[in-house]
A and B are shown apart, each in its own frame.
Chain A
């Protein structure tokens, strides 16, 4: 909590320094509460705060459209297979499937207000805002693959149930007319790796400015050593696990021996 205040103050200070140099009429300055999420043995997820400030140049006339901020957090990409069960005779078996070659393992989209209020669906598709549009490559809207949407929706639904995909309307709040903050909650099941954070400033459906930053999720201490050992010394690791199994098995017979 204290960290957030300090960072907010820093962000403001940075804004004052850099703001004047921005080429666009309105520009963004952003800051994260942390760039490293550490996983220890009691890790149960994390909260990351995104702070930002909208800088206006003195001379420009304020646009009539209200400003919208969209924060998108994208986790490490994975190859995901989505399968659909269909009735075949008396059984329900997996039949059709779609592959998502580089779907994010974690994705959070936070906006100042509902996407529907910001513009039409077509606008959102063109600007690639929202979970669905992030998963559909640009220009794929006219795809002949009629089943695609069904599978994308299923992927979002399943991932959302696990908290790994989030679309939070009004997840970005303006603290002052120019300062905003957004809180991203990272579930414990979110994988280790690099997370990209993209902050976009819109006026109506016009993109005014975009800022990119990132944070990483890493294991530390014992967890890191175990994971490293399992990968680097896999045969020794396997034999150690097997020996532990045999040892505990023998130990139990000694402890519980009656005679």
Chain B
């Protein structure tokens, strides 16, 4: 069944969009990431104008992170306090990132910078995580206890002044590295045009040693706040949110996210990290092949200055 999208100005298959958004929602609910870096390229591939794809995708991320965050909150696996700090730091970083984005674009190096950053980010984070998590799985098999969080053991930089107690996250740490880190993630997200959940989740796991389930819930909360604001911002500034496409994406996304959050509950911490690492490496490899393999069609066209 096809339905016409009034803002994208093209028809689309309803079933295809529902299936795709359910799959991405599942991943979002399970890993505590937005999933925009998976869905947006798919939408553009289907012929939806990039501006509409990016803007409309924010609505789906808002919806699936809402349903995911609520589920984790009911299980008492959402740290509002930590989430609030992440939102505050993230906002500052995003503002700086937008400025940097414009500066890099003026210098004409944006394409290379983005491609290389994407590649190195996905590959390095994914690779490190895979190595660590596989070792944990092995240790668990061998019967040795695996715990990322060791009680009473905190790296020195968490002991900076202005220490705050985050009960849910079992964390007593300085707010300075937390705010700083959230700002870096917001900065990278704004430059690369992604939400940054896939950087936030490993960071909370490894650097701050927050329990896996709380990481997912808190990350979803932060994504929910930023993406709700982004949806309104996109609609008001460039009128490229397609509400018909948004509803299809939302319906598929929330159903997928519910099942994802449920599946994540039964997942062991080390297995969670193996799967997330594989996901990151997979996406990184996709970007790498795209950049390294000789393209079949070296030319591409961009339509500018439309009403959108």
Is A91 touching B291 in the complex (CB atoms < 8 A)?
yes
> Are A82's CB and B301's CB within 8 A?
yes
Contact A249 B301 (CB under 8 A): no
| Contacting residue for A246 out of B2, B66, B71, B247, CB 8 A | B66
B153 within 8 A of A: no
List the A residue with the shortest CB-CB distance to B25: A252
A contact residues, range: 35 or more
Which bracket fits the contact residues of B?
35 or more
Which residue of chain B has the shortest Cβ distance to A193 in the bound complex? B307
- Least distance between A152 CB and chain B CB atoms (Å): 11
| B291 lies within 8 A of A78 (CB) | no
B243:A240 contact, CB within 8 angstroms? yes
Residues in A with CB closer than 8 Å to B67 are: 248-250, 252-253
Asked if B236 is an interface residue, CB under 8 A from chain A, the answer is yes
| Contact, CB under 8 Å: B303 / A219 | no
User: Quick check: is B285 within 8 A (CB to CB) of the other chain?
Assistant: no
Q: Does A244 contact B (CB under 8 A)?
A: yes
Chain B nearest CB from A235 CB (Å) reads 5
Determine whether B138 belongs to the interface, using a CB cutoff of 8 Å to chain A.
no
Please determine whether A151 and B235 come into contact, CB atoms closer than 8 angstroms.
no
The answer to whether the Cβ of A81 comes within 8 Å of any Cβ in the partner chain is: yes
Q: Is A231 an interface residue (CB 8 A)?
A: yes
* Stretch of A4-12, A34-42, A207-215 at the chain-chain interface: A34-42
Q: Least Cβ distance of B206 to chain A in Å?
A: 29
Assess the B299–A188 pair: CB atoms within 8 A. Answer: no
| B235 contacts A249, C-beta separation under 8 Å | no
A178 within 8 A of B: no
Which chain B residues border A189 with CB–CB below 8 Å? 9-10, 47
For residue A188, which residue of chain B has the nearest CB? B11
Q: Are B111 and A93 in contact (CB under 8 A)?
A: yes
User: Are A91 and B112 in touch, CB under 8 angstroms?
Assistant: yes
Hey, which chain A residues are within 8 Å of B307, CB to CB?
A: 231
B257-282, CB < 8 A from A: 257-259, 262
Question: Quick check: which of A16-24, A125-133, A138-146, A222-230 contacts chain B, the rest being far away?
Answer: A222-230
Taking beta carbons and an 8 Å cutoff, which residues of B are in contact with A? 2-4, 6-7, 9-11, 47, 59-60, 62-67, 70-71, 74, 111-112, 115-116, 228, 231-237, 239, 241, 243-244, 246-247, 250-251, 254-255, 257-259, 262, 291-295, 297-307
Given contacts A92-B295, A241-B232, A244-B250, 4 further A-B contacts (CB under 8 A): A154-B297, A188-B4, A242-B231, A245-B228
